[in-house]
Amino acid sequence: MIQTLTLPGAIHTLLAAAGIAVGLIQLLRPKGGSIHRALGYAFVYAMLIADGTAMLIFQFTGRFNILHVGALANLFCIVLAMVPMLRSPRPSNWKVQHYYFICWAYVGLLAAAVTELVVRTSHLATTGQAWAITAATSIVVTVIGYVLIDRYQPVSGSRPASNDATISQNGVQS
Does residue 56 form part of some domain? yes
Whether residue 174 is predicted with pLDDT greater than 70 in this model: the reply is: no
Amino acid at 127: T
Count: domains in the chain: 1
Tell me, yes or no, whether 88 lies in a domain.
yes
Of 164, 144, 152, 171, the closest CA to residue 31 belongs to 152
* Higher-scoring residue by pLDDT: 107, 131: 107
Radius of gyration of the chain from its Cα atoms, rounded to whole angstroms: 19
Count of Cβ atoms closer than 10 Å to residue 84 Cβ = 18
Share of the chain above pLDDT 90, in %: 64
171 pLDDT higher than 70 = no
Distance CA 82, CA 142 (A): 21
Name which of 154, 70, 63 is nearest 105 in CA terms.
70
Q: Is residue 171 part of a domain?
A: no
Residue 51 has pLDDT above 90, yes or no: yes
Q: What is the pTM of this model?
A: 0.83
Question: What is the span of the domain harbouring residue 108?
Answer: 2-151
